[in-house]
Structure 1
Amino acid sequence: MHRRRRTALLLSAALATAAPLLTACGDDAHPGAAAVVGGDRITVSQLENRVNEVRTAQRAAIKNDTQYEQAIAKSGGLTRDTLHGMVLDHVLHRAAQDAGVTVSRNEVLRLRSSLEQQAGGAKALEAAWLQQYGVAPGRLDDNLRVQVEAQKLATGLGTDTSQPAFWKALSDASKKLDVDLNPRYGTWDVQKSSRVDAKLPWLREVTQAGSQGTA
């Protein structure tokens, strides 16, 4: 289990504190984009599709309505967490490219085979990744590729994924990519290569107005 948790570091590190989805939108310089990373757009539609993949997988795995509602409640920040992971994947890949790191299909398959043996089979591994990290079964190989890439980058830097040198490489990549999030999803902290909730005046005003209306 310890080994499995370690290989999922990048994903688990991306999981921020759950927060309700903000439906209002501020000054959107990139209409239709949830984020722009190195000139590449992650559209709101793409983000919603990723989230729906997880929700569909959760519904298929959890037949009991009460348990399903509990699972939804525990992953209330799924939209933000998913966007965080999508952006971080881009950042990590850029850092890996800069370091000359590549990942082969066989490396991903070897990791998956090892994890399946630990978990008790392919279905058990998919269920564990869905429950613990919000990764839909169809995205498992993509996520494992990220884990291999992270480990190889760390090794190439002479460190590991928990050390400042590794995150410094991601920070440098974030700067080069000029990550820009749609304000409804927060902002990107370049130093930490992490999404953070934005403190926006328009959000505070809307919240206060709503409180006054229900007083």
Structure 2
Amino acid sequence: MHRRRRTALVLSAAIVAAGPLLTACGNDAHPGAAAVVGGQRITVSQLQDRVDEVRQAQRAAVSDPAQYQQVLTSTSSLTRDTLHNMVLDRVLHRAAQDEGISVTRNEVQKMRAGLEQQAGGAKGLEMAWLQKFGIAPSRLDDNLRLQLEAQKLAAKLGTDTTQPAFWNALSQASRELHIDLNPRYGSWDVQKSGRVDAKTPWVREVTSAGSQQQTA
């Protein structure tokens, strides 16, 4: 598979596992907020709406109750992962803006058409993104826009999305946005680039699907 296409396929998973970008203030300065990014709240209600979109799509895709229960078990950290994605969407968009990068609707549609061809059609692509990355079909175009922003940002930096130069740019954007993550959803150890779950040791750690694909 072409390197850029492979990058597009793994970016969402890499974002879920990316450590250096989020920090938590560990206070209650923003009640009702799951996170505050650039002074803008991501409310608990907004987060739950996103999670519900994914759960509804999963339920529609799996008719057997036992299989659906397996899906729930395997995605038990969906709420936390979804919040991380929502925050990182804003971080990446800020990093792209800082470099004067924009993405057109035509570019998104062109990318989608190519991925649909690889996946055997629109439904195949939607199911792939739902199963691999926890992206609801209604959010697919938004995610592809994110992928394109990442590709363009990496290209402008003369690197790719697996290299430190790319993630350093996102780290800089996150510092500019002064991210405040609600401690109930965990925190991030910037030095160790790993997730620290605040007082919730029972929460299943996310397997880095991105790392799995890189070593496959």
TM-score normalised by the shorter chain: which range applies? Answer: 0.7 to 0.9
Q: What is the aligned partner in structure 2 of residue 22 from structure 1?
A: none
Asked if 2 retains the 8 angstrom alpha-carbon contact of 1:33 and 1:43, the reply is yes
Distance 1:27 1:119, change over 3 A: same
* SS of residue paired to 1:139: helix
TM-score, structure 2 length as denominator? Answer: 0.83
Asked if residue 129 in structure 1 is aligned to residue 106 in structure 2, the reply is no
Pair 195,173 (structure 1): closer, same or farther in 2 beyond 3 Å: farther
8 Å CA contact 2:189–2:196 kept in 1: the answer is no
CA distance in 1, matches of 2:186, 2:133: 21
**Deviation digits for residues 132-187 of structure 1 (CA, Å, limit 9, x no counterpart):** 11110000000000000000000011111011110010010011001100110112
> Where does structure 2 lack aligned partners over 5 or more consecutive residues?
18-25, 202-216
- 2:101 equivalent in structure 1: 101
Is the partner of 2:41 in helix, strand or coil? strand
Aligned partner letter, 2:94: R
Q: Which has the larger radius of gyration?
A: 1
Q: CA separation of 1:195/1:10 partners in 2, compared to 1, >3 Å: closer, same or farther?
A: farther
After superposition, the C-alpha distances for 1:111-133 in whole angstroms (9 at most, x for unaligned) are 00000000010011101111111
Paired AA for residue 15 in structure 2: A
Q: RCO (CA 8 Å, sep 6+): is it higher in 1 or 2?
A: 2
Secondary structure at 1:29 match in 2: coil
**1:152-191 counterparts in 2 under 5 A?**
152-189=152-189
Cα distance in 2 between the residues matched to 1:113 and 1:60: 23
Q: TM-score, normalised by structure 1?
A: 0.83
Moved over 3 A (4+): 1-5, 188-192
Partners in 1 of 2:103 and 2:191 — Cα distance?
26
Q: RMSD between aligned alpha carbons?
A: 2.2
Aligned partners of 1:37 and 1:87 also within 8 Å = yes
Residue of structure 1 in register with 2:86 after alignment: 86
Q: Where do 1:200-211 residues align within 5 Å?
A: 200=199
- The 8 Å contact of residues 184 and 198 in structure 2, kept in 1 or not, is answered as no
Tell me, in whole angstroms, the C-alpha distance in 1 between the residues paired with 2:179 and 2:194: 10
User: Residues 152 and 104 from structure 1, CA distance in 2 versus in 1: closer, same or farther, beyond 3 angstroms?
Assistant: same
**Offset of 1:72 from its aligned partner?**
0.8
Aligned to 1:211: none
Does the 8 Å CA contact 2:33/2:43 hold for their aligned counterparts? yes
The secondary structure found in structure 2 opposite 1:8 is helix
| Equivalent pair of 1:84/1:195 in contact (CA under 8 Å) | no
Match of 1:9 in 2: 10
Give the % identical residues.
67
Aligned to 2:20: none
